Structures are given as C-alpha cells and as structure tokens.
Chains A and B, each alone.
Chain A
C-alpha cells in the first residue's frame, strides 16, 4: 500500500487563526502532483477529517505543486476539548492516507 506521505515531500498542518486549520501537501514532483489532483478526491479528505465536503476549501496550485485544504477546526483552538493547540498533528491523517 502506498500512502500519500510516501509520495510527497511534506504534509504540513497549522492553525489559520483560532477557527480554521489548513493542511498543505507539498508534492515537489509534478508527476506526483498530477497523480494526486486526479486520485485524491475532496470528498475523501472531508471524510477523513469528518467535515462536510462543502465546508472544505481546496486549492490546487500547479505553480507550487501544492494541494491545500482548509477546514473549520473540529474544535475551536484552546477550547476545553481541543487536543492540539497548534493544529500541527492533523497532517498525520492525510500523510497516512492510502493512494491508488
């Protein structure tokens, strides 16, 4: 099984303010970028983060060979149920996702 993390240079997640988290997939290789723009569906990423597909923003940026996803934080940063103040571990889920 190939995971997304096996293919790309880096997956990074960070807060974008207290109410959003943003996940950047740095493909580096144009062939990997093309493969992911075809094989990684927005619905699948939304399901991974248990968010509605229409709340997930997606940006395919060919110049940078980056795919970026932004979603409202499942819990507001720093609220009683927040487990990851900087949102940096959300990336792990996408990194471990199996890719055709």
Chain B
C-alpha cells in the first residue's frame, strides 16, 4: 500500500513555505510529521528540560500545522517535542496545543508519548547488563543526571497512532521514527521506509531549495519517491543521495531501535526534474535497543570579554594571558583560598585561535584580539565572585613589570556575565528492551473547545 507522508520542515520553529504546505495538504497525505528537536545546539536544552526555540515561533508554526491537519483529516505527529523531548517539553508542547485548540475551535484527541527515563530504571538495566556503550562513550555515572531520555523508534509512535490520536506529541524519538511509523505499519518495504525517512527528516534539505521546508514522500512495497513542494525546488539523485552524508558519521548505515538501515545497494533515479525514486536499500533486523541521552550540571560559569586593540598587546596576546593566568591563580588562592583544581579559568583568544584552539595551524598579525575569559566554578556565586576578582586585572594587567598600566576595551558594564549552569552530555549508550513500550508511556486526552 502506498503511504504518503507530508513533512513541513526539518524542525518546528525554523519556518516553512505556507503555499507549499497548502499544496501538500491538497495532495491528500496520509499523515503529517515534523521533528521538534536535536542535540545539535548542545546539552543545555536536555540538561534544563527546555525548548531552545521561542514559544511564539513554535505556536505560530504549530497553528498552521494544526489547521493543515484539520483540513487533511489525518494525524499530525511531532517527534522530540521542545528540542530535547523531556517530559517537561512534551507538556510544554501540549499546553501550546490545547491553547491553539481553543483558539481554533478544534476538538482533538491528543496522545502524549513520554520518553524520559527515571534514573532507577537505567540503573537497574545497567546492573542487569542491559546497557552497552557506543564508542566513544563517557564513563557512565547516573547519580547526578538532571534528565535522561531514550530515543523512541517506530514502534512507540505506532502505539501512539493506534490510540486514534489526531495529534501525537512525542518526547525524544530518533529523527526518522515519526516518518517511518505509519508506512511500516502498513507493510511498506522497511529498507525504503527508513531510507526515505532519513532523507525527509530535514525537510527540503535534500532538495535544491533547502529553506523552503516542505516535502512529500510516497512509500511503497519497493522503495520511495521524494518530491519538494515549494515553487522551483527540485530533488535530484545527487541532492537526495548526498543527504545521507549529513550529520551522519557513516553515510551507508543508520542505526535505529531494532536494526539498521543499509543503503549500500540504493539506486537513485530522476523521475522528472523534481522527483527522485529510490529503491534497493535494505533493513537489517537486530536486537531491540534504544539509545539513551543524558545531561548533568558540570559547573556554573561567569564570562568576561576584553578587546586588545593596542598593536603590541594584540601581537603578544598569548604571552599576556599566560602571565595574567599565573598571576590570577595566585590572587584567587590568596583571597579566596581556592586551589586552581577547584575551578576553571580559561582565556580564549578570538582573532588568534578562538574557534580551533590547539588544532589551529595558521598564524598572522591580528588587528585586534578578543580575550574571552571563562570561569567555571562549583556554584554560580563562586563563579561570579571569581569574575569580580579578576575583572580589574583583565582590564589593566601589564605585559611587563616596567610599563605604565594599560587599559583595554570592555564592551559593556558590568564587564562580567553570569551564564548559569554549564551542562554536559553524559551518555552515549544503548539500553536493551524486551518490549518496546516498557520504557515509554502514553497519555491520551480529549480536548474540546
């Protein structure tokens, strides 16, 4: 059976072409799927359990999609709601959905799929030998993680759809799970389904017009066909096959719960100048494992930024921060009784090697150098105190003892900025499950305006 999946964009919150969305609805899709998250912006979202996108942008785009759903009369599914897919961001998305249902006068059945993991469950699985590291995995330590999520696959989304939900708000899922769920349950070819889902998960990124967002994928018994819906956007065998490279460490294999996709044998053919047909990908079943993500607080930060425009200082910036760092460590020990091992103090030279650090292999003569000082301490109060202590020296410290005190450029007052907690990713592991739903839970709610 052919299954037609409409993907409005690669992520909710980045915008899409409204006319293309309407064109998609007119083509009678069987389901509308969109991703809501990623780890790509770093550990903050997962650590804090917050969306990185604004509520306003999320709500205005979700309004369009809820209207499209009502018009098409098919389920609307969001995966990894609220960037990280914790219980808190699923409920955040649910609140937005209920508000919109009232405003739009829609009666809805809403299924929430929760992916967050109680620490005790993961600890038990670890003890039972049901957790395995993926290379390179950090050492597993569960006691201080703020949030742990498991990445749901197609099975959990299928369970949510089986409730008859109009809207599924899923916690953390794999990028592909929401798109793959319905075609798999209707018996479309698994290799083609997972491959097409991977191609579609970033929306129109697999086309010649990446920002237009909207694409349609038709899945069937032998493969899939992908078509971008914006005016002038085209998919070519090259644009589609090249998408397997994107943010993928292995362009031929993609691991999912219960197996992996192998695209070594995939053949890409242009049906016309906009649509591409793909066949020959295979699905290799394996043990049922779900990937885990977790984050913890690794300290609290305060930053300071000074700009060295004086040529002598700009040219000797590294020598300056080396001398300054030694001086400041001694000051912090004297005045705050802290050993350098108790906190972090790092100066990064923007204009010298700010982005690449020790990997940088070019040198030059910068016009000016931004000196970004980053303090990491055990509490925010301690980080702020260190920031205030170092502030006058970052402003005035001399390169040599026998010169007049210099004064550098601070771009704002106060010169220090408290950044709050620093989170770090703490898991790169998989957890084995006997029953796919045993680590996930569903809540179904009827909403009437």
Contacts and interface: CB of A to CB of B under 8 A. Distances in A.
Nearest to A17: B39
Contact of A78 (B137, B246, B358, B425): B425
Contact of B245 (A24, A48, A80, A85): A24
Interface string B105-126: 0000000000000000000000
Contact of B44 (A14, A15, A70, A78): A78
Contact of B359 (A49, A70, A77, A80): A49
Contact of A72 (B135, B357, B374): B135
Interface stretch (B13-21, B73-81, B193-201, B348-356): B348-356
A99 interface: no
A93 B357 contact: no
B425 A18 contact: yes
Contacts of A34: none
B247 A77 contact: no
A19 B361 CA distance: 23
B299 A80 contact: yes
Nearest to A78: B42
Interface residues of B, number: 42
B423 A72 contact: no
B42 A77 contact: yes
Contacts of A57: 249-250
B238 A64 contact: yes
Nearest to B47: A78
A39 interface: no
Size category of the A interface is 35 or more
B242 A66 contact: yes
Contacts of A20: 249
A86 to B, nearest CB: 6
Given A64-B238, A70-B249, A80-B376, A18 B39 contact: yes
A49 B357 CA distance: 11
Given A63-B241, A64-B242, A83-B354, A93 B135 contact: no
B249 A16 contact: yes
B356 A16 contact: no
A57 B275 CA distance: 32
Interface of B: 39-44, 134-138, 238, 241-242, 245-252, 298-299, 344, 346, 348, 354-359, 361-362, 374, 376, 422-425, 428
26 contacts: A14-B40, A15-B39, A16-B247, A18-B39, A20-B249, A24-B245, A48-B361, A50-B359, A61-B251, A64-B241, A64-B245, A70-B250, A74-B359, A76-B425, A77-B43, A77-B425, A78-B425, A80-B344, A80-B374, A80-B422, A81-B346, A83-B356, A86-B41, A90-B359, A92-B355, A93-B356
